[in-house]
Amino acid sequence: MNNPPILQNITDTLEENYMPYAMSVIISRAIPEIDGFKPSHRKLLYTMYKMGLLSGNRTKSANVVGQTMKLNPHGDMAIYETMVRLTRGNGALLQPLVDSKGNFGKQYSRDMAYAAARYTEVKLDAFCREVFGDIDKDTVDFVDNYDGTLKEPTLLPVSLPTILLNANQGIAVGMASNICSFNLKELCEATIALIKHPMADITETLKAPDFPTGGMLLYDEAAMREIYKTGRGTFRLRSKYKFDKKENLIEIYEIPYTTTSEAIIDKLIELIKENKIREISDIRDETDLNGLKITLDIKRGADPEKLMTKLFKMTPLEDSFGCNFNVLIGGAPQVLGVYGILKAWIDFRINCVKRKLTFDISKKRDKLHLLLGLREILLDIDKAIKIVRETEEDEMVVPNLMKGFNIDELQAEFVAEIKLRNLNKQYILKRTAECDELAEEIKRLEEILGSEKEIKKLIIDSLKEIIKKYGAERRTEIIESGEIAEYKEETFIDNYNLKYFLTKDNYFKKISLVSLRSAGEQKLKENDEIVLEAESSNASDILFFTDKQSVYKSKLYDIPDCKASAWGEYLPNLLGMDDDEKVVYAVATEKYEGEMIFAFENGKTARVPLMAYATKSNRKKLTNAYGSQSPLVSALFVPQAADIVLFADSGKILVVNTDIVPLKTTRSTQGVQTMRLKKGSKLSRAVLGEQSGLSDFDSYRAKALPAGGHYPKGDDDPQISLF
């Protein structure tokens, strides 16, 4: 017999199962804390510190990975991947934390694989002295590891704001963090400014982020101040390049931190295949041991500056960095600006220094206490020797010394351990004088501990020393966003006059007038014929109206030039049309002036301004391009008021000036009844007056709508001349 299902409230399930998981990911995995590290970073670095890798020789990465699993049980590959990003060899950090030997891949490469842990070697970078300084002096709290066999720090007592020194990204549950990196020297100077004056404007010293991959940062002061204030915002990064005039090539040698060389090359190849970039003849990835290099061979006559402006717009050669400064403060996630993070770090560092001072004072007091006991005995050393000599049992030496000199057990134990060789005048005077020095040192430390001003002075002095040791110039150049040339599509277009042709079988030709002069007969597919021919310029938009009430929009310069001896471009492939869709008309325009006239089988015509097809976005397809109540028989473009001729299958002809057809702004309008048709009759076609073959328009002209039309008169031949 089956047991009935156990029903459980979904809110209880979420609270009991999902919420603990979400909190674990947020607090213990994805979001960095005020020391700048996630738990995985901290466990790895602390393991290396305990292995003695802050000094001495490197060790195999596999050794470090194995030792780290005592603190981090998430698997060797996860630990090794964490280590790779921290290494000097990978180049992901502005200030590397791990000195490395071997192949650790590269931050700027998506496909460059790092070597296995058994081949590479690591040790802590010398900079880590600023990360672990005074960790053994109770500066931070320690907790048990996952199985309770070891202790590990909850934070590292970093002596500078590493939270902003290196870029850090994390995706948690329901939240994420993305922190950019800042130049060490500028960061320390900004921190010093804030310590001295809490309301200081740090943008004077910490102007903008800095990245290990260099490049250029397009500086927008308002956007940067917003990031500094709120921790959210976006700025743009741009690649650096140089032009070799002799070889006619461009070398890209620094790229945005947020992209890779492979992503850039893939996008360039895609644009070249789509014929959107014609100035590049070859692309090569020439990255080697000297660093990144992407080489672009450009065609003769191409302007390298204009080309790069175009590439910055269309490829990841220019990319954006979205800031989300989400950090854990006291175990709670908070989105803070640069100001907020630095102030939180200053509070954290003040607490670390206070704990260090308290530890030092305690140790010095303990030592002074022992030396004071020693001083009491050294004042009458003969008495001490007599007590020791006359004591019969070993365990009574300490109690007898305590009783004889009125000292406590710790002091007596310390005295009892003194070697006989140290009972000389020099030793006695030296240790006695040390008591006074210790007392003075304790007094000085207590004064510092009791003065926040003095504590801040210690932090400032430490930061200044760090600047001297590790300060370096910016790698990412800052340029004002207003100083750069923005991409304007029209400036890159090779504009020339041309003629375009549309054929019955959906082929399209675009031929420059210069080429057309020397061209022979137009070659067409068997049984195909030209149904439309018009002149325009290469900078124009072109609209293709289809038999499914759609219009496809394209740029004429995006369509390859054609020769008279070729069939042309097959429009279904070029525009992405449906298999059974057919183009019925095409019109090229620059300013969307003029009107479209649509004639339907039921005798109605619609007059729609061409501006109705202009869109602010670059939409490639518009639906409901014209009415669908009756089948379309003809579409015509008229730049201004013109006569059009309607032909019914009954043989009747009607001439209508477009001015008397009401103008409708809705594309899908059904139009107005223009030609009055007999029962069973329908409109067969509509043409422009000059293409109609009629000699006397007025005898067929409609004076009011609808009109019935007239049969052909005299010598009029209603055959249509397309051109």
**Residue 404: CATH number of its domain:** 1.10.268.10
- Rounded distance between C-alpha atoms, residue 195 and residue 191, angstroms: 6
Choosing from 142, 158, 174, the residue where a domain stops is: 158
Considering the domain architecture, whether residues 452 and 357 belong to the same structural domain is answered as yes
Q: Is residue 54 within 8 Å of 124, Cβ to Cβ? A: yes
Considering the domain architecture, whether residues 523 and 378 belong to the same structural domain is answered as no
Residue 119 a catalytic site member: yes
Q: What is the CB neighbour count within 10 angstroms for residue 193?
A: 18
Considering the domain architecture, whether residues 146 and 249 belong to the same structural domain is answered as no
Q: What are phi and psi of 208, to 5 degrees?
A: -165, 165
Give Cα 79 distance to the centre of its chain. 25
Beta bridge partners of 644: 656, 688
CA distances from 545 to 254, 548, 593, 613 (A): 46, 8, 17, 11
Give the CA-trace dihedral at 669, 675, 680, 684, to 10 degrees: -80
CATH classification at residue 286 = 3.30.1360.40
Its domain, for residue 80, covers 31-158
Q: Is residue 295 within 8 Å of 286, Cβ to Cβ? A: yes
- Rounded distance between C-alpha atoms, residue 278 and residue 520, angstroms: 27
Scanning 505-611, the segments in alpha helix (DSSP H) are: 513-517, 571-575
CATH classification at residue 546 = 2.120.10.90
Query: What is the identity of the amino acid at 333?
Result: P
- Rounded distance between C-alpha atoms, residue 205 and residue 182, angstroms: 11
Q: Is residue 357 within 8 Å of 452, Cβ to Cβ? A: no
| Catalytic residue (choose from 18, 21, 119, 711) | 119
pLDDT at position 718 = 58
Whether residue 362 is contained in a domain is answered as: yes
Whether residue 395 is contained in a domain is answered as: yes
Sheet holding 604-609, edge to edge: 632-638, 595-600, 604-609, 672-673
Q: What is the DSSP letter of 51?
A: T
* pTM across the whole model: 0.75
Question: b/e per residue, 66-87, with b = 16+ CB within 10 A?
Answer: ebbebbbeeeeeebbebbbbbb
For residue 679 the two structure tokens come to 């029962």
Considering the domain architecture, whether residues 431 and 501 belong to the same structural domain is answered as no
Of the candidates 153, 167, 159, the residue with the CA atom closest to the CA atom of residue 86: 167
Beta bridge partners of 534: 500
Q: Is residue 500 within 8 Å of 536, Cβ to Cβ? A: yes
For residue 154 the two structure tokens come to 């909850």
Q: Is residue 218 within 8 Å of 202, Cβ to Cβ? A: no
For residue 628 the two structure tokens come to 């669908």
Whether residue 169 is contained in a domain is answered as: no
Choosing from 111, 126, 158, the residue where a domain stops is: 158
Whether residue 310 is contained in a domain is answered as: yes
Considering the domain architecture, whether residues 535 and 644 belong to the same structural domain is answered as yes
Considering the domain architecture, whether residues 309 and 366 belong to the same structural domain is answered as no
Considering the domain architecture, whether residues 608 and 519 belong to the same structural domain is answered as yes
The number of distinct structural domains making up the chain is 4
Q: Which residue bears the tokens 């003769």? A: 300
- Per-block mean pLDDT, blocks of 10 residues, the chain (723 long): 71 76 74 94 96 94 96 91 96 96 94 94 96 94 93 96 93 87 96 95 94 95 95 95 92 96 95 88 92 93 88 94 94 94 96 95 92 81 83 85 86 81 74 86 94 95 96 94 67 80 92 84 88 90 93 88 88 88 93 93 94 81 91 93 91 90 91 90 90 82 87 68 41
- Rounded distance between C-alpha atoms, residue 98 and residue 627, angstroms: 69
Whether residue 79 is contained in a domain is answered as: yes
- Rounded distance between C-alpha atoms, residue 97 and residue 94, angstroms: 10
- Sequence-distant (6+) residues with CB within 8 A of 463 are 159, 160, 188, 191, 192
Considering the domain architecture, whether residues 511 and 599 belong to the same structural domain is answered as yes
Considering the domain architecture, whether residues 385 and 507 belong to the same structural domain is answered as no
Whether residue 166 is contained in a domain is answered as: no
pLDDT at position 408 = 87
Q: How deeply is 561 buried, as exposed, middle or buried, from its count of CB atoms within 10 A (0-12, 13-18, 19+)?
A: middle
Whether residue 662 is contained in a domain is answered as: yes
With residue 568 as reference, give the H or E element that holds it: none
What does R_g of the chain's alpha carbons equal in angstroms?
41
Whether residue 153 is contained in a domain is answered as: yes
Q: Which residue bears the tokens 């000297």? A: 290
Strands 643-648 and 653-657: antiparallel
Considering the domain architecture, whether residues 92 and 144 belong to the same structural domain is answered as yes
- Sequence-distant (6+) residues with CB within 8 A of 10 are none
CATH classification at residue 99 = 3.90.199.10
Considering the domain architecture, whether residues 154 and 88 belong to the same structural domain is answered as yes
Strand, helix or coil for residue 321: strand
Question: The dihedral of CA 336, 341, 343, 349: what is its sign?
Answer: positive
Considering the domain architecture, whether residues 295 and 358 belong to the same structural domain is answered as no
